[in-house]
Amino acid sequence: MKKYSVGIDIGGTNIAVALVTADGKIKSKIKFPTKINRGEEIIIDEIVWKVSRVVRSGPVKSVAGIGRGAAGFIYYEEGTIKFSPNMFHREVPFVSMMNEKIRSRGDKRLLGLPLYFDNDANVAAWGAYQMDVPKTVENLICVTLGTGVGGGIIIDGKIYHGADGYAGEIGHIILNPDGPKCNCGNYGCMEKYVGAGSIVERTLREIKRGRRSMIEKLVNGRLEDMTTKTLYDAAKRGDELANEMWKNTGRCLGISLAGIVNLLNPEFIVLAGGVAKAGDLILSPMRRTIKEHANTYAAKAVRCIISKLGDNLGVVGAALLVRQKDAKSF
Ligand SMILES: [Zn+2]
């Protein structure tokens, strides 16, 4: 068995490329900003160049393949990004463009390596399935909590893609059809209650309404500097408003997930992404809400955890895509 594979995690802000061992350890990693304004040609060219570099850091003949995860609506069968709200606003035939770049560079180490491609939340779910849960687990849900809220589903040990690869969009489950407008065009999506920007926005509204909070002091009066990290710090120091916000966020997440628990009876729910760093502040109210609102037996069966891989879940999950059985490669 080949010892390494390459993972690529393409996000709206940063791209990470890493050489990863078969058991999910990072051997070398490069992180660089996503130059969205310069167009996809330049971005893909830079990715291929960095892939060459990380491959060079390990024994060349030992690389099993390259896996990539990207944010957005991915047409899995073709390896095409249909639309990516924070990156590409038109269709990008990502896999064929990348293959073309590899061919034109003529790097022998990359030519002929199988390529895997998937949505970033599916990749995170695959990473969590490989790294965060016991080997006996075959069914899990992964929720990536950041600016956006993504979801990936593992059923019977495989990524569940649905008919065309668009399954798992947990963030766009409607919590309130009369709620605020979402980036996807719909109203009251879960993302509008649980996404990082929305949490901060809601808190800001409360402070402007006159609620007292130590948050103002923590950002030296510059409320525009508030992030979910500020809210975490405030909550840990006992701030009432910050604690209320996390409780509320965990509850919104729990309500959406209670429906999913009823539908799919997963063994694990794994939270990942920047907002998941809030740990128990979000996990406890989420667990409580699932217990209250999901079917008693399904709620008892599910265990809710935070991924231990932190920011590396995407890149490790992408590299481990080579371990999927019967997966489509290009
Ligand atoms: Zn939405």
Looking at domain 134-306, does it have CATH number 3.30.420.40?
yes
Residue 89 pLDDT: 65
The CA-CA-CA angle for residues 119, 283, 276, to 5°, reads 45
Strand, coil or helix: 228: helix
Q: Distance (Å, rounded) from C-alpha 314 to C-alpha 307? A: 11
Instruction: Spell out, as residue ranges, where the chain has pLDDT lower than 70.
Output: 1, 60, 85-89
Look at the chain and count its residues.
Answer: 330
Q: Distance (Å, rounded) from C-alpha 7 to C-alpha 311? A: 13
Q: Distance (Å, rounded) from C-alpha 16 to C-alpha 51? A: 10
- The rounded Å distance from CA 148 to ligand 1 centre is 9
- The rounded Å distance from CA 137 to ligand 1 centre is 30
Residue 36 pLDDT: 78
Looking at domain 4-124+313-323, does it have CATH number 3.20.20.70?
no
- The rounded Å distance from CA 212 to ligand 1 centre is 31
Residue 60 pLDDT: 65
- The rounded Å distance from CA 104 to ligand 1 centre is 39
DSSP 139: -
Residue 225 pLDDT: 96
Question: Are 254 and 302 contacting, i.e. CB atoms less than 8 angstroms apart?
Answer: no
- The rounded Å distance from CA 280 to ligand 1 centre is 26
Residue corresponding to tokens 């990749």? 123
Tens-digit pLDDT profile for residues 306-315: 999 999 999 9
- The rounded Å distance from CA 161 to ligand 1 centre is 19
Closest to 274 measured CA to CA, from 118, 149, 140, 87? 149
Tens-digit pLDDT profile for residues 222-265: 999 999 999 999 999 999 999 999 999 999 999 999 999 999 99
Same fold, 4-124+313-323 and 134-306: yes
Residue 20 pLDDT: 95
Q: Distance (Å, rounded) from C-alpha 239 to C-alpha 43? A: 42
Give the 3-state secondary structure of 148-177.
CEEEEEEECCEECCCCCCCCCCHHHCECCC
Residue 186 pLDDT: 94
- The rounded Å distance from CA 110 to ligand 1 centre is 38
- The rounded Å distance from CA 171 to ligand 1 centre is 7
What does pTM read for this prediction?
0.92
- The rounded Å distance from CA 182 to ligand 1 centre is 5
- The rounded Å distance from CA 170 to ligand 1 centre is 9
Residue ranges of domains in the chain = 4-124+313-323, 134-306
Residue 151 pLDDT: 95
**What element of type H or E holds 138?**
none
Strand, coil or helix: 205: helix
